[in-house]
Structure 1
């Protein structure tokens, strides 16, 4: 691809920079931001936007081992 073979033992990061490949973290961030932009353009009455306005301050997260909690539910 860049004129190197496996025998040359070049680092993957070096070849990615030379070819111009973007890191996967950046691509994931771009897609999340793109989705968030679509979400913000929705009308405020849309169900997705109503969730954004909910206040979860009074909700407490359960403590303890989740596996034990699930086991109690199925007994």
Structure 2
């Protein structure tokens, strides 16, 4: 379910859909129907499965740090700093980018912060927590 999730732009809609799917899978694991009216917290207690939002956020944070620390000349770190030259901007709010949430936690100089693993790992809990507290 989390294949490729490191590169997703996390949105509230995406998190909601992932959680709904996860709850359906957990109910199937337990053989519980929606008609049984068992609360989600009880199902989660029985299955002992990690919340999908936490898992995806953690994977994304670790992947971002891994990509930024690469020094082998691949295109990954270069793409993170790329700014498109399109001329006119489209109407409305710009789409959420992959790095927007990371910048919100680690600051605009997040690429430099990721070079220090200790600092980066200490910020991970804050990043994961922002997606856990939602919904």
TM-score by length of 1: 0.51
Q: Is residue 36 from structure 1 mapped to residue 64 from structure 2 by the alignment?
A: yes
Q: Which fold has the larger relative contact order, with Cα–Cα distance below 8 Å and residues 6 or more apart in sequence?
A: 2
> What's the C-alpha RMSD, in Å, of the aligned pairs?
3.6
Match runs of 1:1-12 below 5 Å: 6=33, 9-12=37-40
Contact 1:44/1:50 (8 A) holds in 2: no
> In the alignment, what sits opposite 1:48?
76
Q: Which runs of 5+ in 2 are unaligned?
A: 1-28, 93-135
Contact 1:39/1:49 (8 A) holds in 2: yes
Contact 1:42/1:49 (8 A) holds in 2: yes
> In the alignment, what sits opposite 2:48?
20
TM-score by length of 2: 0.33
Q: Which runs of 5+ in 1 are unaligned?
A: 65-75
- Larger Rg belongs to: 1
Q: 1:14 to 1:44 in 2, by over 3 A?
A: same
- Separation in 2, partners of 1:13, 1:38: 34
